[in-house]
Amino acid sequence: MDIQLFKAKYEVDECLSEIRECLEVGWTGMGFKTVKFEDAWKQYTGLPYAHYLNSSTMGLYLAVDILKEECGWNDDDEIITTPITFISTNHAIAKSGLKAVFADIDDTFCLDPKSVKEHITDKTKAVMYVGLGGNTGNYEEIVKICRENNLKFILDAAHMTGTRINGKIPGSEADVVVYSFQAVKNLPTADSGMICFKDGRLDEIVRKKAWLGINKDTYARTQNMGNYKWKYDVEYIGEKGHGNSVMASIGLVQLKYVDRDNAYRRTICNWYRERLEPYSDKITFVRIEKGCESSCHLFQILVDDRDALIVALNQAGISPGVHYIANTEYKMYAYGKGTCPHADYVSSHTLSLPLNLYLTRKDVDYICDEVIKFIGK
């Protein structure tokens, strides 16, 4: 038996049909399908602007970089962030010459509002909020803190495709939202992302900065029949960060099915809880705030001997994961080590059980049987 943590499920024929159109037209780069995907994404989320990128990592960096430049932040200014996240989140802060200040998490595994307040100083310019596993945590309280303290709110929504609060997709409250469509995410492509600024002027800037600072993209120039379609200016030292039409083709198809797929993920999570909740004296679950309909990118539990449980599950043909090791364990962020006790505890005790669309109830029961067998020893 080989039960994988993640395994992307594609609507293969539809994806190939969309990609085929790119090949027949002879355009696989930026434009064409990327524009269609941006429009579809804005319609789906209700956000006013969206620019398609080659990864959410690029989106996070551009988000911080642009806000720093446009808001006049200094190199020693600070962004409050979480230690329980993939390293992309905090690299985006450091790469922009700012300091990642680590606040603790609460039992939702998202930033604890109380800890965020405690870490605000004169140098604090923004809060980077991660909706871990698709959970919204105390999202609305963090939004309130940002508004009261005149802080920018950056939403790392890498796990949040399809997440809703009280029936509404969150993000309109943020200055910028960044999504991931990486290979194992709820809306998978080979790799890509979307950056959604609230301010249309910043959306214009990110389109240039993601194309090496050039003020006209290649596709737009090919559509321009004038004599000067070849002429452009370079306004920034930018990145090669835009997405392409092949990946956007996959995204366009998968977007149509993401709510259906997330509903099945929630069903799988309910099966896990149903089987494991009788053992809540030995297993701790992530708390989901009332009103949150999570995308359920992850199903995480806390156990005493996490590493031994991983070995036991591996021996049973099950591949769990860890999301994540506290970033303060890494050498470059070690200055924050010991400042976030709950995050440290989660880092050494959390386990992500398999959560992919190929799982059956029988698979979940088998996984739970192995977990129960281990904790009963």
Does 343 fall in a domain? yes
Residue 331's CATH number? 3.90.1150.10
Residue 131 and residue 194 share a domain: yes
Residues 6+ apart with CB under 8 A from 93: 64, 79, 81, 99, 100, 128
The percent of residues above 70 in pLDDT, for the chain, comes to 96
Q: Which of 323, 251, 200 is nearest to 55 (CA)?
A: 251
Residue 207 and residue 287 share a domain: no
CB 192 within 8 A of CB 41: no
Pairing of strands 300-302, 176-180: unpaired
pTM, to two decimals: 0.96
Residue 46 and residue 23 share a domain: yes
Does 5 fall in a domain? no
Which pLDDT belongs to residue 105?
98
The percent of residues above 90 in pLDDT, for the chain, comes to 95
Burial of 32 (0-12, 13-18, 19+ CB in 10 A): buried
* Per-residue pLDDT reduced to its tens digit, 341-373: 999 999 999 999 999 999 999 999 999 999 999
- Taking the alpha carbons at both ends of the chain, their separation in whole angstroms is 23
What is the C-alpha to C-alpha distance for residues 327 and 338, in angstroms, rounded to an integer? 11
SS3 assignment for 256-301 = CCHHHHHHHHHHHHHHHHHHHHHHCCCCEECCCCCCEECCCCCCEE
Instruction: Report, as an integer, the average pLDDT of 231-251.
Output: 95
pLDDT of 85 higher than 60: yes
pLDDT of 230 higher than 90: no
Residue 331 and residue 198 share a domain: no
Residue 182's CATH number? 3.40.640.10
pLDDT of 91 higher than 60: yes
Does 3 fall in a domain? no
What is the C-alpha to C-alpha distance for residues 175 and 256, in angstroms, rounded to an integer? 26
What is the C-alpha to C-alpha distance for residues 340 and 345, in angstroms, rounded to an integer? 9
Pairing of strands 152-157, 176-180: parallel
Residue 290 and residue 363 share a domain: yes
Does 6 fall in a domain? no
> 208, 230, 255 — which closes off a domain?
255
Residue 173 and residue 278 share a domain: no
* Per-residue pLDDT reduced to its tens digit, 11-55: 999 999 999 999 999 999 999 999 999 999 999 999 999 999 999
Q: Residue 156, Cβ neighbours under 10 Å: how many?
A: 29
Does 311 fall in a domain? yes
**pLDDT-derived band at 266, boundaries 50, 70, 90:** very high
Residue 152 and residue 39 share a domain: yes
CA 352 to chain centre: 16
Does 1 fall in a domain? no
Residue 317 and residue 337 share a domain: yes
> For tokens 């379609």, what's the residue?
229
Burial of 147 (0-12, 13-18, 19+ CB in 10 A): exposed
Which pLDDT belongs to residue 227?
53
Residues 6+ apart with CB under 8 A from 26: none
* Per-residue pLDDT reduced to its tens digit, 114-155: 999 999 999 999 999 999 999 999 999 999 999 999 999 999
Does 179 fall in a domain? yes
Which pLDDT belongs to residue 142?
98
The mean predicted confidence, pLDDT, of the chain is 96
What is the C-alpha to C-alpha distance for residues 153 and 249, in angstroms, rounded to an integer? 30
* Per-residue pLDDT reduced to its tens digit, 300-328: 999 999 999 999 999 999 999 999 999 99
Residue 46 and residue 59 share a domain: yes
Q: What phi and psi, each to the nearest 5 degrees, are found at residue 348?
A: -95, -5
Residue 195 and residue 282 share a domain: no
**pLDDT-derived band at 216, boundaries 50, 70, 90:** confident
**pLDDT-derived band at 377, boundaries 50, 70, 90:** confident
Residue 132 and residue 47 share a domain: yes
Residue 121 and residue 31 share a domain: yes
* Per-residue pLDDT reduced to its tens digit, 162-198: 999 999 999 999 999 999 999 999 999 999 999 999 9
Domain span holding position 297? 258-375
**Structurally, how many domains does the chain consist of?**
2
Does 322 fall in a domain? yes
> 255, 281, 309 — which closes off a domain?
255
> 226, 255, 284 — which closes off a domain?
255
